[in-house]
Chain A
Amino acid sequence: MKLVWVFALGAVAVGTTGCARVKPWQREYLSERAMTPGGERPEDRFRQHWQVSREGSTGGFGAAGGGCGCN
């Protein structure tokens, strides 16, 4: 339960710092593929695929893929 509160407070903290705006002309580095969420989607989809067939947990980091009988 403590962890839930930590994440909730973290989300609030992240949200409230939104007023520190980064202007479009300051986003050169943010446009790098490595900095873009979802920029490595097909690769991450396969990683999720083998991880859920070898580990008991899943989710987080934006999952991808489809159901399979890889139990």
Chain B
Amino acid sequence: MRSLVRLVVAIVVAAAAAGHARADEVTFRGNYWRDRNTRILQPEVDISKELPSGTILGAHYLLDTITSASIAAGALRDELFTELRNEVGVRLGQRIGPATITGAYSYSSESDYQASLASLSATVDLAQKTTTLGFGLAYGHDNVARRMGPTAYTPLGSLDTITLIASVNQIFSPTVSGSLSYDFGAIGFGDPSNGFQANPYRPVNVGSSPTRESVPFQRYRNAFAASLSWLVPLRSRVVPWVMFRPAYRFYFDDWGVKSHTPEVRVYLPTGLLEWRVTGRWYTQTAASFWSSLSDDIPFYPGQGKACSTCWGGSTVGGLFYTSDPKLSEFRTFFIEARLLLKLTFIEKLSRPLSRGFVELSYGHLFTERHVNRTFGDGHTAGLTLQWPL
């Protein structure tokens, strides 16, 4: 993806830090994304296995195939461009009494962006696994370059990140559980050698001249999340239960972006099928150095704008300018339907395969304002095949 800098803060084991990830299964998944400018096809495989010794092994591989004509995604002209991104990750965990310690590493590579991420997490079960505490620490190092031609690249800088996660999962009753988590991310540390976060291709209108965007070299992110899983037994042979999972996330960072994300998922099994519907609403404020005309089109009349909310350091006295739609004020709404089919009906053909399932999903992302003008609405689909090992 010719693209730019952007950090997907990622912690391969963060799911484990938030609770117990499932083990002993292999998953094949195909992901699809489409909006006005970008199409992504992403096959991936994920495998995990717990040995009798309590050692947990895991690995994943995915291939991003990104076809884009978007300037925001790095295109220099309005022509289709296909980029490949390979990502591979490994996990190694060990159960020690009530605790599980997991280390993980992943590497991602595309033509103008390479990312490494190492993480360490621990979970501790308390009160006969009624309460699970989780802690996670991750360090990432990315190298960023600007494509100058089919085979020529100019290195622009690097991005170092540190992420901390703390979580607690609690079982309240035989049908109700919940979780709380807090994520803190330090993204960059003040100069281009460790905090390059701008998009090298995205132009900004500064004083009526197109200029390459400039954003601070450090960013501190905070995210609080809470969710509740509530299963309601229905005593019916057709629909044995229905489950609700409401969740909420509050996010803020020192660039001035604040967001609220309520979400609800509803699960409904019927025989071999399980239906799931997801609704997600998202709203965010603009970064403090965002500047636009009255119709949301990015524009800086002078030399740029100070980051009035930044926590100091190298950002003091700096003037910044960006046209990144993600740093503007907007709302989105996402709705998705998913159908899961258990494969038990093929038991006579293959007993091992009959223990798995097939999952099919489709979602629609509704956008507005400058995000809609740039990307349009989004469509996403997925196909999953999963079997226990």
A binding-site residues for B, Cβ under 8 Å: 3-4, 7, 10-11, 14-15, 17-24, 26-30, 32-39, 41-50, 52-71
Given contacts A38-B15, A43-B361, A69-B1, contact A54 B371 (CB under 8 A): yes
Q: Tell me, yes or no, whether B267 is within 8 Å of chain A by CB.
A: yes
Nearest B residue to A52, CB-CB: B8
Q: Are A11 and B180 in contact (CB under 8 A)?
A: yes
**B50 close to chain A: CB less than 8 A:** no
| In the complex, chain B residues whose CB is within 8 Å of the CB of A3 | 224, 250
Contacts of B170 in A (CB 8 A): 14-15, 17-18
A63 to B182, CA, bound (A): 11
**A70 touching B8 by the CB < 8 A rule?**
yes
Please, what's the 1-or-0 string for B5-28, where 1 marks a CB less than 8 Å from any CB in chain A? Answer: 111111110111111111000010
Chain A residues near B87: list those with CB within 8 A.
65-66, 68
The answer to whether B259 and A7 have CB atoms under 8 Å apart is: no
**Closest residue of A by beta carbon distance from B199:** A71
A6 to nearest B CB, angstroms?
8
User: Besides the contacts A44-B15, A59-B225, A66-B117, what 18 more A-B pairs have beta carbons closer than 8 Å?
Assistant: A3-B224, A18-B170, A23-B128, A29-B241, A35-B243, A36-B20, A37-B19, A41-B21, A42-B60, A46-B31, A50-B40, A59-B221, A61-B225, A62-B15, A67-B142, A67-B161, A69-B2, A69-B144
Q: Which of A49, A52, A53 has the most CB of B within 10 A?
A: A53
Residues of B within 8 A of A61 (CB): 18, 181, 225, 227, 247, 249
Contact with A along B212-237 (1 / 0, CB 8 A): 00000000011111110101010000
Q: Across the interface, do A66 and B8 meet the contact criterion of CB distance under 8 Å?
A: yes
Quick check: A42 and B27 within 8 Å, CB to CB?
yes
In B63-106, the 8 Å CB interface with A consists of 64, 66, 72-74, 85, 87, 89, 106
A–B pairs, 8, beta carbons within 8 Å: A14-B131, A34-B245, A37-B20, A38-B21, A43-B359, A43-B384, A54-B375, A59-B221
Interface centre among A21, A33, A55, A70 (most CB of B within 10 A): A70
What's the Cα separation between A44 and B127 when bound, in Å?
29
Of chain A, the residue at the smallest CB distance from B58 is: A41
Q: Is the CB of B174 within 8 A of A69?
A: no
Q: How far is the CB of A51 from the nearest CB of chain B, in Å?
A: 8
Chain B residues proximal to chain A, CB less than 8 Å = 1-12, 14-22, 27, 29, 31, 33, 40, 42, 44, 46, 60, 64, 66, 72-74, 85, 87, 89, 106-108, 110, 112-113, 115-117, 126-128, 130-131, 140, 142, 144, 159, 161, 163, 165, 167-175, 177-183, 185, 197, 199, 202, 221-227, 229, 231, 233, 241, 243, 245, 247, 249-251, 253, 257, 259, 261, 267, 274, 276, 282, 284, 287, 324, 326-327, 332, 359, 361, 365, 367, 371, 375, 378, 380, 382, 384
Q: Which 7 A-B residue pairings sit nearest by Cβ, starting from the closest?
A: A71-B6, A67-B115, A37-B19, A69-B113, A59-B223, A60-B225, A38-B21
CB distance from A23 to the nearest CB of B (A): 8
**Which residues of chain B are within 8 angstroms of A39 by Cβ–Cβ distance?**
22
A44–B42 Cα distance when bound, in Å, is: 13
Cross-chain contact B224 with A48 (CB below 8 angstroms): no
Asked if A57 and B22 sit within 8 Å, CB to CB, the answer is: no
Complex contacts, B245 vs chain A, CB 8 Å: 34
Contact of B10 (CB < 8 Å), options: A19, A42, A43, A67: A67
Residues of A within 8 A of B144 (CB): 69
Q: How far, in Å, is B354 (CB) from chain A's closest CB?
A: 16
A33 CB, min distance to chain B CBs, angstroms: 8
Pair A28/B174 contact, Cβ less than 8 Å: yes
Decide if B257 touches A57 in the complex (CB within 8 Å): yes
CB distance from A25 to the nearest CB of B (A): 9
